[in-house]
Amino acid sequence: MPELHDAFRPGNVAVITGAASGIGLAAARRFAGMGLKVCLADWDEARLEREASALGEAALAAPTDVSDRASVEALAAVVAERLGPVSVLMNNAAVDAGGDALSNPDTWDRLLGVNLHGVIHGVQAFVPAMADRGAPGLVINTGSKQGVTAPPGNTAYNVSKAAVKTLTEGLAHTLRNRDGCRVSAHLLVPGFTYTGLTAQRIPERPPAAWTPDQVIDRMLSGIAAGDFYLWCEDNETPRATDEKRILWAAQDLIDNRPALSRWHPEWKAAFERFMAG
């Protein structure tokens, strides 16, 4: 495994949203074990305090509603005062309640408020100061494979994660063209992962699902290798399968096929031949 990024030096500060469970909590535990000072941010105050306490004095619990810009700006102020300059920012908070394009507008507003605007708020509250320091830094935004291939069933979630992908790509371009900036942006793309959100629907982890720790392993190795897309497999879908699905989805536009042709009955056989070939 390549050496860890300089942003992970012991004593540096990491901020993680959605840190009370799942991938965010796995990251907080790993970062604390690496000697970083970690701020755990989440809306679940009771669980947040419990998990931060378990990490010891180097952890700070900060109840935060990422959908509220003022709450995230207050988080940035608390971190600066209590922990110091930030080296690692992980915008990870998300909800998955959503629906199709015609579903409840309030649900859409809540989901986009957390999944998209929460990332925007985090980027805008923390990254300018990180970039101006001239020190090594990382911004890790959690996306999803659903933001790339857009499977039907939860359009709202797909939209939010597709937007996070585009946002993070643009941020990476901005940072690498900023004079003196040593901060890089990365998109974490989990596959089927058994998190707190998943557990609400499935009581036990299916054999196909990765654990949050496996996602963090992949994240760290990808960052060390200089990857932008921190693509995660799972226990039933190898990367080669994901790559072919991505190519098929891109070809919809090039060939002017029906939207989401992978799931269109008239294109089912063609998709199966493509995957087999």
- Tens digit of pLDDT at every position of the chain (277 positions): 568 899 999 999 999 999 999 999 999 999 999 999 999 999 999 999 999 999 999 999 999 999 999 999 999 999 999 999 999 999 999 999 889 999 999 999 999 999 999 999 999 999 999 999 999 999 999 999 999 999 999 999 999 999 999 999 999 999 999 999 999 999 999 999 988 777 677 778 889 899 999 999 999 999 999 999 999 999 999 999 999 999 999 999 999 999 999 999 999 999 999 999 9
| Structural domains of the chain in order of their starting residue, each with its CATH number | 6-236 (3.40.50.720), 238-277 (no CATH)
Supply the pLDDT for residue 263: 98
Catalytic member of 157, 210, 231, 248: 157
Supply the pLDDT for residue 203: 76
State how far the Cα of 144 lies from the Cα of 123, in Å rounded to an integer. 18
Supply the pLDDT for residue 1: 53
Nearest C-alpha neighbor of 88 from the set 145, 13, 151, 32? 13
Quote the pTM value.
0.96
**Is residue 216 within 8 Å of residue 26, measured between CB atoms?**
yes
Whether 194 is a known active-site residue: answer no
15: helix, strand or coil: strand
Supply the pLDDT for residue 257: 98
State how far the Cα of 261 lies from the Cα of 268, in Å rounded to an integer. 8
